[in-house]
């Protein structure tokens, strides 16, 4: 996973339909496998969406088709790891697309690195983020503030993998009631969900959080400090 003295192509692309962002990731992964694109970080926000990961537990979706349509919530079954989660306004979504060389590859360490960057960002606000050994993601006590679900795409033309999907960091107050009530988040019934605003009262925009989190991601993954390119998707 070494990328010392390299930079990410970090892009903030605004509010993007989930399906559009998924197709963009798949295209970028192919280009990276072919050596036509360098490591890329997509930072964005989705309209209300539920995604079901490869664990495939449809019973963890508590709403029927008609109620989803009434609430305007899209539903996708996708190829990342994990169970069901929610994406919506007031949540920073990050899709790090990184080439991981097969030599010395540690996929577990990649997940822990994503968590650490978010934990370090939370510390700026006096929030003690932590891990739970049995679950992926970032927690504050028994409440999850960031979900993580990734896919390791095996390269066809290079030796190694390209990552896709990533993290979803809750910022907006009340996001647990707004979107997570309709599911059993990540299949975990024991614990709840929280956000930066719920914990601190701070109203932080998705773009502001993206700007603040990027230096932590660069440091954790050994990239030079990067600036975010704003490229609002149409």
| Whole-number Å distance between alpha carbons of 56 and 46 | 21
Task: Count other Cβ atoms within 10 Å, centred on residue 192.
Answer: 13
Rg (CA), the chain: 17
Cβ(24)–Cβ(234) under 8 Å?
no
Per-residue tokens: 19 = 């399906």
| Whole-number Å distance between alpha carbons of 171 and 193 | 11
Cβ(44)–Cβ(21) under 8 Å?
yes
Phi, psi of 95 (to 5 degrees): -115, 90
Per-residue tokens: 130 = 């932590």
Active site residue 155: no
- Residue positions in the annotated binding site? 80-87, 147-149, 166-168
| Whole-number Å distance between alpha carbons of 201 and 125 | 11
Cβ(148)–Cβ(136) under 8 Å?
yes
Minimal CA–CA distance to 112: which of 191, 220, 188? 220
Within 124-205, residue ranges assigned H as helices are 175-178, 196-200
How many CA within 13 A on the CB side of residue 197? 15
Please tell me which residue in 16, 186, 199, 217 is annotated as part of the active site: 186
- Residue positions in the annotated binding site for substrate? 80-87, 147-149, 166-168
Active site residues: 186
């Amino acid at each position: 996973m070494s990328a010392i003295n390299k930079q990410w192509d970090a892009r903030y692309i605004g509010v993007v339909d989930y399906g559009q962002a998924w197709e963009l990731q798949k295209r970028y992964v192919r280009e990276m496998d072919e050596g036509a694109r360098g490591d890329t970080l997509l930072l964005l926000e989705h309209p209300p969406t539920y995604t079901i990961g490869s664990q495939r537990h449809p019973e963890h979706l508590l709403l029927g088709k008609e109620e989803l349509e009434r609430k305007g919530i899209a539903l996708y079954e996708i190829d990342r790891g994990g169970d069901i989660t929610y994406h919506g306004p007031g949540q920073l979504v990050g899709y790090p697309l990184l080439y991981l060389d097969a030599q010395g590859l540690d996929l577990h360490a990649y997940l822990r690195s994503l968590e650490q960057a978010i934990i370090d960002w939370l510390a700026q606000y006096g929030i003690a983020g932590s891990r739970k050994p049995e679950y992926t993601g970032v927690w504050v006590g028994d409440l999850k503030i960031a979900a993580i679900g990734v896919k390791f795409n095996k390269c066809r033309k290079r030796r190694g993998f390209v990552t896709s999907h990533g993290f979803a960091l809750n910022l907006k107050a009340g996001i647990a009631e707004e979107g997570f009530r309709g599911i059993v988040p990540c299949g975990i019934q024991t614990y709840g969900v929280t956000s930066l605003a719920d914990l601190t009262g701070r109203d932080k925009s998705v773009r502001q959080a993206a700007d603040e989190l990027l230096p932590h991601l660069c440091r954790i993954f050994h990239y030079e400090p990067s600036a975010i390119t704003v490229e609002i998707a149409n």
